[in-house]
Amino acid sequence: MSRVRFRFGSVDTLDVSFPSITRIKDQIQEKGIVGSTNNRRGARKVISGSDFVYIRFVKEIGEDVQVLNEYDNVIQTEQYVARIMRFLLLSNGNYAFESRQGVSDHDALEYIFSSFETEYEYERYDEFNLDQMRWFYKNRPKIRKIKVDNIGKREPNPHWPDDDIIEIVDDTGEEADNSIFSVGRKDNNLKNVDIIDRGFARLSDLNFIRAKDGEGNIQELLESGRFGFTYSSDLDDDEQSRRIRITAIGMLRNLFGESEDDE
């Protein structure tokens, strides 16, 4: 299985209409890799459909490393590596990008929209609120791991648990700042444990959730705005791009109320 972790955002042009997917794809393919040595960036792979364009955005990143010089002394120097980030842009301006150190959504957006005579603005979704975390928890058939914070400090939605469960959670919250529950290597489900499903998960902040979707693939949601999921390693680039598209659209629709018609 392959694993990827994404963040989400939206972009819009200010003084002209949003470019079509065809125009965006053509401009990306025409530009290729731009910049001078040690400052190069661009798209190494471009895949598009009627409502999306998917690229593997590459950028040279400087890293400080320690090496031996000709006198066998350890010195610090800078070397440049090519770091690749997967980036998906939808026709309505929503986007998803891989969380990679040194490469950001701003880098990819600047590369894409510098080809058009327009200013643009973008918003990165830097966190998920409690309602969004609860939606993810409720709509996954299997929960494998959760981290809760502010134990016993949140009102449940929609139903209150039994008084004995509330008391246990409140008592725990008096002594513990946060707690982690996990099934470990077992294929169990935390939703089957009343004190977790009807207690800690309902009465606390949800910081991290690891779940299985209906197809048995692992999905993770982090309060810090990151969403991770697994998919088959056998998928080729075209199949990967479409799986990422379908998954991103589903998350955007349900977490942010965005809509996009499926192909």
58-90 pLDDT, tens digit per residue, is 999 988 888 888 888 888 888 889 999 999 999
pLDDT interval class at 259 (50, 70, 90):
very low
Range with the poorest average pLDDT among 1-5, 11-15, 163-167: 1-5
Range with the poorest average pLDDT among 13-22, 68-77, 92-101, 205-214: 68-77
CB atoms under 10 Å from CB of 11, counted, come to 21
- Which pLDDT score, from 0 to 100, does residue 77 have? 85
Q: What percent of the chain has pLDDT over 90?
A: 71
Q: How far apart are CA 111 and CA 155, in angstroms?
A: 45
Residue 231 has pLDDT above 90, yes or no: no
- The pair of three-digit structure tokens given for residue 98, joined into one six-digit string: 């891989």
Question: Higher pLDDT residue, 158 or 38?
Answer: 38
Residue 262 has pLDDT above 70, yes or no: no
Residue bearing tokens 């979707």: 213
| Contacts of 228-235 spanning 24+ positions with Cβ under 8 A | 228/3, 228/4, 228/5, 228/6, 229/3, 229/4, 230/1, 230/2, 230/3, 230/4, 231/1, 231/2, 231/4, 232/1, 232/2, 233/1, 233/2, 235/2
Q: How far apart are CA 247 and CA 228, in angstroms?
A: 10
Residue 205 has pLDDT above 50, yes or no: yes
Q: Contact, 222 vs 7, CB < 8 A?
A: no
Range with the poorest average pLDDT among 10-14, 151-155, 211-215, 224-228: 211-215
Q: What is the mean pLDDT of the chain?
A: 92
The reported pTM is 0.87
Q: Contact, 230 vs 218, CB < 8 A?
A: yes
Q: Hey, where are the domains in the chain?
A: 2-125, 130-224
Q: Contact, 78 vs 65, CB < 8 A?
A: yes
129-181 pLDDT, tens digit per residue, is 999 999 999 999 999 999 999 999 999 977 888 999 999 999 999 999 999 99
Q: How far apart are CA 244 and CA 184, in angstroms?
A: 27
